[in-house]
Structures are given as C-alpha cells and as structure tokens.
Homo-oligomer: A and B are copies of this chain.
Amino acid sequence: MNESDNNLNIPTYDDVLAAHERIKPYIHQTPVLTSRFLNELTGAELFFKCENFQKAGAFKVRGACNAVFGLDEKTAQIGVATHSSGNHALSLSYAAGQRGIPVTVVMPRTAPQAKKDAVIGYGGSIVECEPSTSSREATFAEVVAESGAEFVHPYNDPRVIAGQGTCSKELVSQVDNLDAVVAPIGGGGMISGTCLTLSNIAPQIKIYAAEPLNADDAARSFKAGHIIADDAPDTVADGLKVPLKDLTWHFVSNHVTDILTATEEEIVDAMKLIWKRMKIVMEPSSAVPLATILKNPELFKGKRVGIIITGGNVDLDALPWMNN
C-alpha cells in the first residue's frame, strides 16, 4: 500500500456487499455467455460477463445506483450532478430517475445527439459546456454552486467503485474456478471494483487490465509506479480515454497483475469477431480484453478466463468498420 493511501477513503468489501443489497432492485444480474468458436481460437475457456445487457446499457449503472440510493433523504432531494458524455451520464440519469430525484449532467455541446437524447429520456437535465476541460470544470462548478447537488464522479468515488465491485461478485458466483479476469481500463472504476472484490473473495484469480495502445496511460503508469495522465488521447474505444485518479490508482497499483494493450485495428477486429460469432452488440471498449487475449495467447492458454463486456451503447450509424 502506498503511503499517500492514508488520506484516501478506500471502500471495503463490506461496502460491496452493502452496495449489492442496495442496488439489486434496480439492476440486472447479467448473463455469462460462452463461445465454442472463441474458445477454440484462443485455447482458453472464456466467460463473457455481459454488462451490455445491463440497465442503461453498461456496468456504470451499478456504481451510479449505489451512490444515488445510498444518499440520505435530504441530500437526495437536492439532487445529483456529474460531468460525462458517456455511459456514466446515462447511468446516473437512470439511477436518479429510479429514485425520483433531480439529476444534472454537464456535457460538451459537441456530444452526440443520441447520447443527449438518452440522458433526457431517463429524465436527466443537460447543461452544455465547450468541449474543453477548463470549460467543463467551470460549468460544472457553477452547476454545483447553484444547485448544491451531490457530485458523483464517474470512477474516482468509493461509492462508485463499491458498486462496480458487484459485477465480479456476480461473476464468481456464476462461474467456478476462474484463473483470470480481464476487464478494460480507462479511469479504472471497473478494474478497481474488480480488484476490491476479487482480492477479498478470490485472491488467486489474476486480474488483467486491457487498454488501447493509443490511450495507454494506465499501462505506462503501471510501469512507472505513479499516475501518468495523457491529454486527450484518441482511440475508437471512447470509454477508455480518461486517466487514473488516486483511488483507482490505489487498486491498480496494489492488485493488478498486468496491463495489456491492443492497437486500434486489433480492437475493431475483436469487436467484429464478437458481434459476428456471439451475436451481441457491444462497444469498442468492451472488445479490448479479447484483443489483448488474442495478442497474448500464452498467458491464457488452458485457463478459465472471465471477460467483462462493459457496455453496449454504440452508435449503429457510425460503426468503426464503416470507415474501413
């Protein structure tokens, strides 16, 4: 454990247990799918935990629901807020809608209309900012100052990490004797929840994080031993562009076996392979684990490997291979 961890509010496995009880009425226990074709291709036994079938289309609803339903009544009535143009925005809007409390999402005005429509569809309010960090932070500060809303960070929040930890808790109850779990890494919320749960209930399972080579800040951080944050990396795996923060770095640096990377082409090929053979719609980010497994077969051959399919919110009119 790093010395700086002393100041962190690190969630415990009891928080995961409490989260699971709290959020069960609002989430799905998502299915685990297998593919004989992909098993033969990799020489491993792969178990795909399908959070693309989750409420709001992504695992993020676990952490968002845990944060929203854990608020005391008075705080809840004031509402919650976040900044996100992705699945956390949808998930927090869904969670707040389920509790019937206000939710405000700061989104860049350039965010896809489909994402804005989805937030509004779940009952969220959008405040637009310019597509820059400075504008986003200034706009968000105004929103919170005016409304007093509770900030729910997309990943660097103990409530969110405890919520995400319920995913691998389900996975190990659905699949026996896993040797490894591979999950995508962006800000590190899912990986941190996975570390939190597995280090407590199945510490023998190796945890691999899978990252786009084009946004490999976590892999470089892991090697360097401290957080390296990139400015605006560009990758088709649009959920994985954000950097690690102190809480998620705590889990990554203490519990992850390795961080593996894949090129853009490898990610798109793996995505298409999953769509074609498994008949499921999932995001580019969710294809990074399979891409890294195909690239590092020696690590996984003969092993039982859980893969987190993190989400399924993809723009069907702009699939990555449409540009090929």
A residues at B contact (CB < 8 Å) = 31, 33, 52-53, 57, 272, 275-276, 279-282, 312, 316-317, 319, 321-322
- Contact pick for A31, options B31, B316, B321, CB 8 Å: B31
- Cα-based distance from A272 to B314 in the complex (angstroms): 12
Residues in B neighbouring A282, C-beta threshold 8 A:
279
Report the minimal beta-carbon distance from A191 to chain B, rounded to whole angstroms.
22
- Contact pick for A52, options B33, B279, B322, CB 8 Å: B279
Report the minimal beta-carbon distance from A127 to chain B, rounded to whole angstroms.
26
Complex contact B280–A279 (CB within 8 A): yes
Of chain B, the residue at the smallest CB distance from A312 is: B279
Of chain B, the residue at the smallest CB distance from A33 is: B53
- Cα-based distance from A142 to B321 in the complex (angstroms): 41
Report the minimal beta-carbon distance from A193 to chain B, rounded to whole angstroms.
21
Residues in B neighbouring A52, C-beta threshold 8 A:
279
Report the minimal beta-carbon distance from A116 to chain B, rounded to whole angstroms.
15
Residues in B neighbouring A321, C-beta threshold 8 A:
316-317
Report the minimal beta-carbon distance from A52 to chain B, rounded to whole angstroms.
5
- Cα-based distance from A312 to B278 in the complex (angstroms): 9
- Cα-based distance from A31 to B30 in the complex (angstroms): 12
Instruction: Sort A-B residue pairs by CB-CB distance and give the 5 closest, nearest first.
Output: A279-B312, A279-B281, A52-B279, A275-B281, A53-B279
